[in-house]
Chain A
Amino acid sequence: MRGDGDTPALLELDGVGKSFGGVAAVADLSFAVPTGSVMGLMGPNGAGKTTVINLITGLLGFDRGHIRFDGAEIGGAAAHRIAARGIARTYQNVRLFSGMTALEQVLAGGFLRRGTSLIASFLGTPASRAARARSLAEARHLLDRVRLAHRADVLAETLSYGEQRRIEIARALGAHPRLLLLDEPTAGMNAAESAAIGGLVHELRDAGLTVLMVEHNVRLVTDFCDHVAVMSFGRKLTEGTPAACLAHPEVQAAYFGRSGDAERIRALR
């Protein structure tokens, strides 16, 4: 499977299915995220978008199908191994570590790039101290990138919601992922903050990162996504450019509840 045009896919879902006690949360889902693109995953609440993120990152196992990252099957692998392959994520409800400062959160995100062993780090060998200094400098740089350098030593849980979301993005970037999964990165943000997140996502894409973004904000999706897949009731409704997807009648119905609501409800019965 390929992404749009000639770009090879970095991530491919192929017939993925996941049921919770007989209820299909995700059914026969296939799509591909082209390398170096920003892909949007849309759909009404309960469509299964977050479940998809959880399946990709190994937080949940799936029942059928394949998930391939850079051509290799990652289905069934442990979450920390999937992360080590180069997939990082944020969470729909911010999940920062309690009791850690903003800087420590981002340092934790750099775990995979610690570049020193436990023994060396414990003994404080020159090499481990250099690695530590590099990690710290990098964490500060990432905080700066999300414009929170001035908050480095503040307990992250005391920051505003928008700031916490940005720390989560910085933490996810700490491992230098190749694929970043953003689960509603602008939820609870105002228009200016949302646009800033969109701008950051473009910067990251231009630096070579591939992004898959679950997003409700139609404006953000049209402005910042190269490609969109729309889900409804665990299935893919359609896929294509943002404009084409939003114009699709079933998307209009499923997402905005505008046209043909009555037939739709009748069809479901």
Chain B
Amino acid sequence: MLADLWAAYQSSVGFAMVNVFFALSTYAVLSAGVLSFASVSYAAFGGFIGAQLVLNTGISPLLALPVSAVAGALLAYAVALLFLRLDGHWMALASLALVLMTRVVVLNAPTLTGGVNGLSLPVDLSLATLTVLLLLLMLVFHRLSGSWYGIAVRAVREDPAVAASLGMPARRLQTIAFVISGAVGGAGGMLLAAMLQFISPDTYFINIAFTMIAAVVLGGSYHWAGAVAGAFVFTALPVVMQAVLPQIQDVANGAALLAIMVFLPRGLIDPRAWRLRHAR
């Protein structure tokens, strides 16, 4: 019984874990005060480069993973140099435009991406491996938030002018955030490719952008654990609703998301709320 349940849902668990990568990629920049959808592009870049590497050299996808991460980081660095001069809303819109462009570029670069036909990637990624990678990623974010970088980006996010008057170089800190976001997004793109064993221009598109923003908003954007929780809840909710309320699953799913947003506007994980309670 339990084994059946696991068999039915283990792919959902796998996708939830990959979605954590995308959610944390978004969180990385959001925690420095920048809303960007560009993680989709890092994922595409990292995914296709990693897939080609695996296909052409026969190395294990785990070895291709660091290359995907570096590719994503480099792209993110370029995005930061170009886009960080833009103000909030424009930055978000420009990153959305980048996502749209990415799909066109992917379609028209068949030597790298397979074009319309996509790429088959006959590899095996076990859930255990994915779990270990996810734990490592969480450790990275835990260490970052505990370092001076963690406090500095929080300051920049809350009040960039005050942060600057304390000597914090906002632009440079945000560029670091982009590079982290790019590395995590690129790695996530490769993991998604390995999970799906097939990638095409539609793999890395608006649906990922939607997933990661929803996950971060849902889980809470004031702690990295919020992105983790949000990605799991957002991935699991439709599956659960389908099992529990199959007739009205879409409505129930939407209602549940709305309820979380209305009653927990700062997300499921909100360190400020804990501290307020602690203060009483």
Q: Is the A/B pair a real complex?
A: yes
Say if the beta carbon of A243 comes within 8 Å of chain B. no
B31 to chain A, nearest CB (A): 12
Is B166's CB under 8 angstroms from A171's CB? yes
With the chains together, A152 CA to B159 CA distance in Å? 21
Is A109's CB under 8 angstroms from B271's CB? no
Say if the beta carbon of B126 comes within 8 Å of chain A. no
With the chains together, A91 CA to B166 CA distance in Å? 12
Is A155's CB under 8 angstroms from B276's CB? yes
Is A80's CB under 8 angstroms from B147's CB? no
Within 8 A of B (CB), among A91-119: 91, 95, 97-101, 104, 107-109, 111-112, 114, 116, 118
* Residue of B151, B154, B276, B279 with most chain A CB atoms under a 10 A cut-off: B151
Within 8 A of A (CB), among B146-165: 147-149, 151-152, 154-155, 158-159, 161-165
Is A112's CB under 8 angstroms from B159's CB? no
Interface residue from B148, B154, B164, B167 paired with A116 (Cβ < 8 Å): B148
B149 to chain A, nearest CB (A): 5
Is A78's CB under 8 angstroms from B176's CB? no
With the chains together, A57 CA to B167 CA distance in Å? 11
Say if the beta carbon of A20 comes within 8 Å of chain B. no
With the chains together, A112 CA to B170 CA distance in Å? 13
Interface residue from A84, A95, A100, A101 paired with B167 (Cβ < 8 Å): A84
**Residues on B with beta carbons closer than 8 Å to the beta carbon of A32:** none
**Residues on A with beta carbons closer than 8 Å to the beta carbon of B159:** 95, 97
**Residues on B with beta carbons closer than 8 Å to the beta carbon of A132:** 148
Known interface pairs A98-B272, A108-B152, A111-B152; A89-B165 also in contact (CB < 8 Å): yes
Interface residue from A88, A98, A104, A114 paired with B165 (Cβ < 8 Å): A88
Across the A-B interface, how many residue pairs have beta carbons closer than 8 Å? 99
Is B161's CB under 8 angstroms from A79's CB? yes
Say if the beta carbon of A201 comes within 8 Å of chain B. no
**Residues on B with beta carbons closer than 8 Å to the beta carbon of A59:** 161, 164-165
With the chains together, A104 CA to B272 CA distance in Å? 13
Say if the beta carbon of A124 comes within 8 Å of chain B. yes
Say if the beta carbon of B122 comes within 8 Å of chain A. no
Known interface pairs A95-B159, A116-B148; A111-B279 also in contact (CB < 8 Å): no
Interface residue from A78, A97, A158 paired with B276 (Cβ < 8 Å): A158
With the chains together, A100 CA to B168 CA distance in Å? 17
Is B152's CB under 8 angstroms from A122's CB? no
Chain B, interface residues (CB within 8 Å), range: 20 to 34
With the chains together, A104 CA to B152 CA distance in Å? 10
Is B275's CB under 8 angstroms from A83's CB? no
> What is the chain A residue whose CB lies nearest that of B160?
A79
With the chains together, A58 CA to B170 CA distance in Å? 14
With the chains together, A124 CA to B140 CA distance in Å? 12
**Residues on A with beta carbons closer than 8 Å to the beta carbon of B279:** 154-155, 158
Is A91's CB under 8 angstroms from B167's CB? no
A180 to chain B, nearest CB (A): 12
Is A80's CB under 8 angstroms from B162's CB? no
**Residues on B with beta carbons closer than 8 Å to the beta carbon of A234:** none
Known interface pairs A95-B159, A97-B158, A155-B275; A122-B165 also in contact (CB < 8 Å): no
Say if the beta carbon of A228 comes within 8 Å of chain B. no
Please, what's the 1-or-0 string for A44-76, where 1 marks a CB less than 8 Å from any CB in chain B?
A: 000000000000011100000000000000000
Say if the beta carbon of B45 comes within 8 Å of chain A. no
Say if the beta carbon of B89 comes within 8 Å of chain A. no
30 cross-chain CB contacts under 8 A:
A57-B165, A59-B164, A59-B165, A79-B164, A80-B167, A83-B164, A83-B166, A89-B165, A91-B162, A97-B155, A97-B162, A98-B272, A99-B272, A99-B275, A100-B151, A100-B155, A101-B275, A108-B166, A111-B148, A111-B166, A114-B148, A116-B148, A118-B147, A121-B147, A122-B144, A122-B149, A135-B148, A155-B275, A158-B276, A175-B167
Extra pairs beyond A80-B165, A121-B147 (5, CB < 8 Å): A79-B165, A80-B164, A100-B158, A108-B155, A111-B166
